[in-house]
């Protein structure tokens, strides 16, 4: 591998005297750590050797390197590595030096997320030795602090196991070295990589002298490495309890505010209390915010909302900015007399990775971190920090007063507390509340004859006096009253004189009991214990059947608060007719809970919403309500009629009168066109040309395009009423019939050679338009086997084809009307493959009955493009908003668990991916302004990336992105066409990525997203 020139030219001096006064910062970087690479080169691996060179470039570019002292990396010795790893593990990694590719692959497959080559051991030893040397330089005082720009990363590597891109645990080995051989007493390891450092935790789980503190995305053990050991309940073992601190985020998208809050509440207090001699950071930058990208919601083909959205690290998806990392570095610098080492772990977006690392290095060099603005932690963050504090306060004084002893908490039950009277707070509140309501409103417990329910809800159901005789009955369902406690900081016990029970339901009770015609049943839900929601629903149904039904009241009002709302909704569902006949009003105070829905039975739903009152919303007058309902119904009907799909086939008649002018001339035109239609025969010549032959072919193509002229007959031709989404040209050699599909489902045709006179004797272009779809036409193509069939896919859940010979629009595939088809492809004109917004692929044989078709869930998000290999028809490629392009073998497409042969991650939504007409390459276009060309290796069924072309292919203010499209003739020099933002059309070679030609003209005012090109080049 060729090293970058800059690695040699700009090598920093290694003498301390060159550095600026004040802080001296070390840097470890050795280009040999880039040699560890993925030998399955077809697949772009996120742990890319470019990661460390990108950081180095960023440090060079901002002149940081000049101000740093270079610490040479060296290979870690066996003895050093064995301080944290098993002998067998060392032997295994070292054995990779002379293994064959096949052996390496087999070995890598035995691990979780690991690749290996013959240089892996060298790179891993350098990374490990580099971190050791960096730490030693800091401990010895040669430098104050430092950044170890190393790879492969280390924190997932366990004593006996490589995993998660990590071979040796660099930070752990260095920490052990310091402890064993250099008289360092206490080491604080802070791991801000998005992943939990399972390896580091395992290595130090029993070690009281090393604190391992990790902030990571956890998501209930669903996020990598997916182990419950990453939860806050894991605190270390034996004498080392409290020395492992996990701060597990319950979701992605955590921000600077959340990290700084966790630092201020947990990391810094504990670190100060521990008093380390050095702080080492497992500095992964995969929690970083990525580049900002235009993002919009497309609804009904309309770009409704546009906003800046950040596409973060492709793996971490958190939202920490370079300023956030700088602040964390700055805070940690206060510890251990400034002895701080940052060692690189993850970080997979080269841009955010290098920016974040640079921001940290600047702080190491003594600069102040940038302003963060006001800090506002999220609810999830505060809750997580609270849970961690509760557990860790047992081991760290600084975290008091949350120091309830874990053991004490468990034994707080009546049975297990000899010599004490222990009453649960729920019980206390129940007793006090029942007494209060009895004294104040003479309410009494309602007898429950069902024994099980009676035990569970003893004294939780109260009722007012003479409840059975009242005309109107109120059923209240709510949680137990709030208990607001003031705690004593030292003992964590309640300060009684400043604590209160607050029962806000009394307001409603008071209002009801004042009216002599009203009665109440009041249910106080015991919160957070074994009396679950299903029991509660059972209780409500029991109350309805045994009390409310037999009481004399003919009108009932339901009132629910928070969780009570949902239980009432279930009761409404369960006793549908009875409830509808008696209940005149349901009042919900949902609080933090969402407003519950009832089942979809229309009569019940409309009754429910009519009877519903949400607190704070005034009910309308009857008249206003009736008017509003009528209005809404009218609008709904119109909208529905507009969207109603065209059913069955539509035959265009030669006589006008179909409601669309000019049909006669169109039918006549089609007769002329189809008579001379040619059947396209594609020849698949072998395209493995020599370099010389390719040069000649490329020049020929260049000349053809150079001589293309933009037709200037018309300033512009309006083919459809609305904005055009897709276009195609009929494959006929003597006439040019262009067709376009628009936003509202119009299919327009344009006879490019035709001219006609309008009423004012003005010469006009010849166009026709029809509406066989009622929503956006997303793609169209002529059948490869029958040039008289034009297929269209649309957002109305239909695939149709227009039969030019019979002048008929035919229903080809009818899916659910909420399905939004985005793209279609077919090879034989019978089996249609269509993708939709929900990430599914529908396969339809149009010779089968309309109801028969198969659906496969291939992606989680929208599939924008589907393309079948034109030669090997079993291979299909999909491009998705989930940022992957996937290759599938149709024969292996199981229904339940479709597995792709290959998935290629793009750093942005993939908008298109098309097979070359001879099936040998794929060109993809993605949201980050890159076009990529992949060679398809038939024997290994794998894709090899051949080219990446930087290209401005976003349409920005328009909806659709430009898509790179192949020239359809398989025997010409391989090239593709793509629009760019400067109102031009670029033509690129698929062999070497050169631009063959740029078509540009001032006449061009807009460039369609995808091209329909005539096959005129031979
Ligand atoms: Zn990571």
- What pLDDT does 636 receive? 67
> The whole model's pTM is what?
0.52
Q: How far is the CA of 313 from the centre of ligand 1 (A)?
A: 10
The alpha-helical segments, DSSP class H, found in 161-212 are 170-181, 198-204
Q: How far is the CA of 413 from the centre of ligand 1 (A)?
A: 42
CA atoms within 13 A on the CB side of 171: 42
Percent of the chain with pLDDT over 90: 38
Return phi, psi of residue 396, to 5°: -125, 120
Q: For residue range 687-721, what is the model confidence (pLDDT) as tens digits?
A: 566 777 777 878 877 777 777 665 556 667 788 88
Q: How far is the CA of 225 from the centre of ligand 1 (A)?
A: 9
- What pLDDT does 482 receive? 84
Q: How far is the CA of 375 from the centre of ligand 1 (A)?
A: 25
Reference 888, options 852, 859, 864, 912; nearest CA is 859
Give the chain's mean pLDDT.
82
- What pLDDT does 15 receive? 44
Q: How far is the CA of 1009 from the centre of ligand 1 (A)?
A: 37
- Is pLDDT above 90 for 940? no
**What's the helix, strand, coil split of the chain in %, to 5?**
30, 25, 45
- Is pLDDT above 70 for 85? yes
User: Which long-range CB contacts under 8 A does 308-314 form with residues at least 24 apart?
Assistant: 311/907, 311/908, 311/927, 311/928, 312/288, 312/349, 312/352, 313/194, 313/285, 313/286, 313/287, 313/288, 313/347, 313/348, 313/349, 313/352, 313/353, 314/46, 314/290, 314/348, 314/349, 314/883, 314/905, 314/907
- Is pLDDT above 50 for 164? yes
End-to-end alpha carbon distance in the chain: 41
Reference 294, options 741, 884, 954; nearest CA is 954
The CA-atom distances, in angstroms, between 238 and each of 84, 172, 303 are 19, 20, 59
User: Which long-range CB contacts under 8 A does 826-834 form with residues at least 24 apart?
Assistant: 826/781, 826/783, 826/784, 826/791, 826/868, 827/784, 827/868, 827/870, 827/873, 828/784, 828/785, 829/783, 829/784, 829/785, 829/786, 829/789, 832/791, 832/799, 833/866, 833/868, 833/876, 834/793, 834/799, 834/866
Q: How far is the CA of 195 from the centre of ligand 1 (A)?
A: 4
Reference 66, options 40, 27, 36; nearest CA is 27
- Is pLDDT above 70 for 663? yes
Q: How far is the CA of 234 from the centre of ligand 1 (A)?
A: 20
| H/E element, 905 | strand 902-905
CA atoms within 13 A on the CB side of 288: 28
Q: What is the dihedral of CA 410, 415, 417, 422, to 10 degrees?
A: 90
Q: For residue range 808-852, what is the model confidence (pLDDT) as tens digits?
A: 999 999 998 888 999 999 999 999 999 998 889 999 999 998 888
Least confident of 339-343, 864-868, 1011-1015: 1011-1015
Percent of the chain with pLDDT over 70: 82
- What pLDDT does 18 receive? 42
Q: How far is the CA of 315 from the centre of ligand 1 (A)?
A: 8
- CA angle 1009/1011/1014 to nearest 5° reads 170
- What pLDDT does 490 receive? 67
Confidence at 290, pLDDT banded by 50, 70, 90 = low
- Cβ 811 vs Cβ 798: under 8 Å: yes
Q: How far is the CA of 507 from the centre of ligand 1 (A)?
A: 53
- What pLDDT does 967 receive? 82
Q: How far is the CA of 610 from the centre of ligand 1 (A)?
A: 52
CA distance 938 to 940: 6
Q: How far is the CA of 913 from the centre of ligand 1 (A)?
A: 29
Residue whose entry in the numeric block shows the structure tokens 């500095």: 283
Confidence at 954, pLDDT banded by 50, 70, 90 = low
Q: How far is the CA of 373 from the centre of ligand 1 (A)?
A: 27
Q: How far is the CA of 503 from the centre of ligand 1 (A)?
A: 48
- Is pLDDT above 80 for 163? yes
- Crossing angle of helices 50-61 and 350-364, in 10° steps, is 50
Q: How far is the CA of 247 from the centre of ligand 1 (A)?
A: 15
Residue whose entry in the numeric block shows the structure tokens 């993809």: 924
- Is pLDDT above 50 for 295? no
β strands within 76-219, DSSP E: 145-148, 187-191, 210-217
Local structure of 845: helix, strand or coil: strand
Q: How far is the CA of 123 from the centre of ligand 1 (A)?
A: 18
CA distance 289 to 320: 5
- What pLDDT does 674 receive? 72
Q: How far is the CA of 965 from the centre of ligand 1 (A)?
A: 37
Q: For residue range 404-427, what is the model confidence (pLDDT) as tens digits?
A: 554 444 444 444 556 667 777 888
Q: How far is the CA of 857 from the centre of ligand 1 (A)?
A: 29
CA distance 465 to 513: 9
Which of the two residues, 608 and 333, has the higher pLDDT score?
A: 333
Q: How far is the CA of 932 from the centre of ligand 1 (A)?
A: 26
Mean pLDDT within 356-365: 96
β-strand 69-70 against 145-148: which pairing, if any?
Answer: unpaired
Local structure of 500: helix, strand or coil: strand
- What pLDDT does 688 receive? 60
Which of the two residues, 921 and 39, has the higher pLDDT score?
A: 921
Q: What is the dihedral of CA 125, 130, 133, 137, to 10 degrees?
A: -170
Q: How far is the CA of 72 from the centre of ligand 1 (A)?
A: 25
983: Cα separation from own chain's centroid:
33
Q: How far is the CA of 85 from the centre of ligand 1 (A)?
A: 20
- What pLDDT does 301 receive? 36
Catalytic positions, written as ranges: 156
- CB atoms under 10 Å from CB of 657, counted, come to 9
Q: For residue range 578-609, what is the model confidence (pLDDT) as tens digits?
A: 888 888 888 877 776 667 777 766 677 777 77
Q: For residue range 901-916, what is the model confidence (pLDDT) as tens digits?
A: 777 777 677 888 999 8
Mean pLDDT within 93-112: 90
Local structure of 159: helix, strand or coil: coil
Please name the residues in contact with 91: beta carbons below 8 A apart, sequence gap of 6 or more.
Answer: none
- CB atoms under 10 Å from CB of 534, counted, come to 10
- What pLDDT does 972 receive? 80
β strands within 538-649, DSSP E: 555-561, 583-589, 612-614
Reference 147, options 204, 73, 199, 78; nearest CA is 73
Q: How far is the CA of 193 from the centre of ligand 1 (A)?
A: 5
Burial of 952 (0-12, 13-18, 19+ CB in 10 A): middle
Q: How far is the CA of 286 from the centre of ligand 1 (A)?
A: 6
- What pLDDT does 567 receive? 86
Give the gyration radius of the chain's Cα atoms.
Answer: 35
Return phi, psi of residue 694, to 5°: -60, -40
CA distance 879 to 906: 10
DSSP 653: P
- What pLDDT does 302 receive? 37
Q: How far is the CA of 999 from the centre of ligand 1 (A)?
A: 45
Q: How far is the CA of 34 from the centre of ligand 1 (A)?
A: 18
- Cβ 165 vs Cβ 47: under 8 Å: yes
- CA angle 729/731/735 to nearest 5° reads 80
Q: How far is the CA of 501 from the centre of ligand 1 (A)?
A: 46
User: What tokens does 96 get?
Assistant: 């990779």
- Is pLDDT above 70 for 983? no
Residue whose entry in the numeric block shows the structure tokens 């930058």: 285
CA distance 532 to 612: 25
Local structure of 472: helix, strand or coil: strand
Residue length of the chain: 1018
Q: How far is the CA of 346 from the centre of ligand 1 (A)?
A: 4
- Is pLDDT above 60 for 681? no
Longest Cα–Cα distance in the chain: 108
């Amino acid at each position: 591998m060729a090293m970058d020139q800059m690695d040699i030219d700009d090598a920093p001096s290694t003498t301390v005297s060159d550095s600026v006064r004040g802080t001296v910062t070390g840097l470890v970087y050795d280009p040999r750590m880039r040699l560890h690479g993925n030998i399955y080169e077809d697949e772009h691996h996120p742990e890319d050797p470019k990661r460390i060179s990108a950081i180095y470039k960023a440090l060079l570019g901002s002149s940081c390197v000049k101000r740093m002292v270079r610490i040479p990396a060296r290979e870690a010795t066996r003895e050093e590595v064995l301080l944290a790893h098993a002998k067998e593990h060392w032997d295994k990694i070292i054995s990779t030096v002379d293994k064959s590719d096949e052996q390496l692959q087999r070995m890598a497959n035995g691990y979780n997320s690991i690749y290996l080559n013959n240089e892996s051991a060298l790179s891993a030893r350098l990374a490990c030795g580099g971190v050791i040397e960096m730490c030693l330089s800091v401990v010895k005082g040669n430098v104050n602090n430092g950044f170890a720009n190393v790879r492969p990363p280390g924190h997932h590597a366990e004593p006996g196991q490589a995993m998660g891109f990590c071979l040796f645990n660099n930070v752990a080995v260095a920490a052990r070295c310091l402890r064993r051989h250099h008289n360092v007493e206490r080491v604080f390891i802070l791991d801000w990589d998005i992943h939990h450092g399972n390896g580091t935790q395992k290595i130090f789980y029993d070690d009281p002298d090393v604190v391992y503190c990790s902030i990571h995305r956890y998501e209930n053990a669903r996020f990598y490495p997916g182990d419950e050991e990453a939860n806050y309940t894991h605190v270390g073992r034996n004498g080392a309890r409290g020395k492992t601190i996990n701060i597990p985020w319950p979701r992605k998208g955590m921000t600077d505010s959340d990290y700084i809050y966790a630092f201020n509440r947990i990391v810094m207090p504990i670190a100060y209390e521990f008093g380390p001699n050095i702080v080492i950071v497992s500095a992964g930058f995969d929690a970083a915010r990525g580049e900002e990208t235009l993002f919009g919601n497309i609804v009904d083909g309309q770009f409704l909302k546009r906003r800046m959205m950040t596409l973060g690290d492709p793996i971490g998806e958190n939202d920490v900015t370079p300023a956030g990392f700088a602040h964390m570095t700055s805070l940690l610098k206060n510890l251990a007399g400034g002895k701080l080492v940052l060692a690189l772990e993850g970080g997979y977006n080269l841009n955010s990775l290098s920016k974040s690392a640079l921001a940290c290095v600047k702080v190491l060099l003594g600069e102040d971190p940038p302003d963060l603005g006001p800090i506002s932690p999220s609810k999830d963050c505060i809750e997580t920090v609270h849970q961690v504090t509760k557990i860790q306060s047992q081991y760290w004084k600084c975290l008091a007063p949350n120091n309830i002893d874990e053991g004490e908490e468990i034994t707080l039950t009546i049975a297990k507390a000899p010599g004490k009277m222990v009453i649960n707070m729920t019980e206390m509140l129940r007793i006090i509340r029942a007494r209060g309501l009895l004294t104040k409103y003479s309410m009494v417990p309602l007898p429950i004859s069902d024994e099980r329910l009676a035990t569970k809800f003893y004294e939780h159901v109260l009722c007012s006096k003479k409840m059975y005789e009242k005309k109107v009955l109120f059923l209240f369902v709510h949680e137990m009253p709030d208990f607001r406690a003031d705690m004593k900081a030292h003992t964590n016990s309640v300060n009684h004189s400043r604590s209160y029970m607050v029962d806000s339901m009394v307001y409603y009770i008071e209002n009801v009991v004042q009216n002599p015609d009203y009665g109440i049943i009041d249910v106080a839900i015991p919160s957070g214990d074994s009396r679950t929601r299903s029991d509660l629903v059972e209780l409500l149904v029991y109350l309805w059947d045994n009390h409310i039904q037999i009481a004399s009241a003919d009108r009932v009002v339901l009132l629910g608060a928070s969780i009570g709302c949902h239980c009432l909704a279930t009761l409404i569902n369960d006793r549908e007719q009875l409830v509808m006949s008696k209940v005149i009003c349901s009042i919900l105070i949902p609080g933090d809970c969402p407003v519950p829905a009832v089942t979809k039975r229309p009569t019940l739903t409309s009754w429910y919403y009519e009877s519903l009152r949400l607190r704070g919303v005034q009910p309308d007058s009857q008249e206003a309500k009736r008017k509003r309902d009528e209005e809404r119904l009218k609008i709904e009907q119109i909208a529905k009629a507009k969207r109603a799909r065209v059913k069955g086939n539509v035959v265009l008649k030669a006589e006008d009168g179909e409601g669309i002018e000019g049909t006669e001339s169109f039918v006549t035109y089609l007769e002329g066109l189809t008579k001379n239609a040619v059947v396209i025969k594609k020849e698949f010549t072998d395209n493995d040309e020599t370099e010389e032959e390719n040069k000649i072919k490329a020049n020929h193509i260049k000349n053809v395009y150079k001589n293309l002229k933009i037709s200037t007959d018309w300033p512009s031709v309006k083919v459809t009423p609305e904005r055009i989404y897709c276009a195609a040209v009929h494959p006929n050699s003597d006439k040019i019939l262009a067709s376009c599909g628009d936003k509202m489902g119009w299919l327009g045709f344009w006879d490019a050679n035709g001219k006609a006179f309008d009423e004012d004797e003005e010469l006009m272009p010849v166009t026709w338009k029809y509406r066989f779809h009622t929503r956006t036409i997303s793609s169209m193509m002529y059948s490869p086997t029958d040039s008289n069939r034009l297929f269209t896919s649309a957002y109305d859940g239909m695939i149709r084809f227009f039969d030019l010979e019979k002048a008929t629009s035919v229903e080809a595939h009818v899916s659910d009307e909420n399905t939004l088809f985005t793209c279609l492809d077919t090879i034989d004109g019978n089996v249609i493959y269509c993708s939709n917004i929900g990430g599914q692929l529908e396969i339809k044989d149009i010779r089968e009955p309309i109801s028969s078709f198969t659906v496969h869930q291939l992606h989680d998000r929208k599939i924008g493009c589907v393309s079948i290999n034109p030669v090997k028809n079993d291979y299909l490629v999909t491009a998705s908003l989930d940022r992957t392009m996937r290759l599938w073998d149709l024969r292996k497409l199981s229904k339940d668990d479709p597995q792709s042969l290959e998935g290629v991650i793009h750093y942005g939504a993939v908008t298109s991916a098309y097979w070359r007409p001879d099936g040998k390459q794929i060109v993809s276009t993605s949201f980050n302004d890159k076009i990529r060309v992949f060679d398809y290796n038939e024997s290994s069924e794998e894709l090899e990336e051949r080219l990446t072309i930087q290209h401005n292919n976003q349409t920005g203010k328009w909806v659709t992105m430009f898509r790179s499209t192949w020239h359809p003739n398989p025997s010409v020099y391989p090239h593709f066409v793509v629009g760019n933002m400067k109102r031009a059309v670029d033509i690129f070679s698929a062999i070497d990525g050169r631009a063959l030609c740029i078509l540009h003209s001032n006449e061009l005012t807009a460039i369609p997203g995808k091209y329909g090109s005539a096959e005129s080049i031979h």
